[in-house]
Chains A and B, each alone.
Chain A
Amino acid sequence: MNKLILLKPFSLLLLMLFNVACVASECVYDKNIFSENKYKNNKSIVSYLWSSNKSEVKGVLNNGNLFTIKHWSCDHYGTHAVLIVGPYLENIPDELNSDILDLANLALKTDEVSLLKNYLSKKSILLSADKNKYSIKTDEFSEFYIAKNIVNELIILEIKLYKN
C-alpha cells in the first residue's frame, strides 16, 4: 500500500514529462534550426549575448553598430533582424543597401540572403527616400520586408521574414 502511495507521484511526474516531450515534438518547424553557433565564430561581431530560450541574440559589430536578431522555429519559421547605425557618423550614407546586406549576412540563411540580394540588385534603399518599408514579393514567405527609420541621430534598419 505504502509502495503504491510512493509510486503514484513518480508515475505522475513521468506522465507529465512524457506530455512535455510530446508537446515539444509537435512543433511544425525543427526547434533546433537556430543556435548560438551561427554567431560564435562570426568575425564581424565584437561581443554578443545569446539567449537560447528566446532564440535571440544582441550584440555589437566591429564597426560599433548594435544589433538584435530574433529567430522563430516552432509554429512559424522566421527571423527579425535590427541594426542600429550611428550615432556620430562621419559620413552619413544615402544608399543603405550595403548596411542591409551586412545585416542579412549576419542574420539570414544563404537562400534568404540570395532573395534579398536579388531584390537589392534592382532597388536602392535610400535614406533620403520618403518610403520606409519595402516588401519583397516571394511565394515562400508570408511576409518579407526591409524597413528603415531615422530616430534623431540614429538609422534603424530592419529585416523581417516569416512563414508557416
Chain B
Amino acid sequence: MDPSKRAQLSMLMARLADGDRSVFDRVYAELWPIVSAFCGKALPAADAEDAAQQALLKVFDRAATFERDRDALTWTLSIAVWEIKTIRKRLARAKTTALDETQLPAVADNPEGLTAERRIVEAARQVLGQLSELDQQTLIATFNQEVGDDIAGATFRKRRERALVRLRDAWSRIYAS
C-alpha cells in the first residue's frame, strides 16, 4: 500500500472513530481486501476466511478507540495478527486432540492389538492344557461363575485356590523368561 493511500486510510479511520458514519463503507471497502489477503498468507484457505472476518469485526468493534495519530493499517493488521494467532492455537489444540483419539483405537480397527490378544488367549489355553482335568473344570466353572450342586461352596473355593496356584506356576514355568 502506498504512503498516500495509507495516510488516507488513517484519516478515514480517525473520522470513523470520531463518529462520522458516512465513511463506514469506504473504510470497509479499503480494509476487507487487505485483511483478507493478510490472513490468506498466514493460514490455510478455510481458516483464513474465518480469521479475516473475525479480525474485521474486531477492528470495527474497537474503531471508537482508534487514536488519530496512529497508523490505521498497522493497527488493523495487529488485530488481524492476534486473530491469526488465536486460530493457530485452536488448530494446534485440535491436532493434539485428534492424536489422543488415534492413540486409543478400537481393537477391531487395530490388527496389532488383535494379534496380541490372540497370542494371549493361545498362551492361556496352552497353560490350561498343562493342568489336570479337575483344575481345568474348576477354572472354567470359576470363569463362567458356575458352582456344581454336588460340590459344597467351601470345597469349591479350596479347589479354585489350588487350581489358580497351579495355573500361576504353569504360566511362570512357560512364560517367566
A binds B: no
Question: Interface of A with B (CB < 8 Å)?
Answer: none
Question: Interface of B with A (CB < 8 Å)?
Answer: none
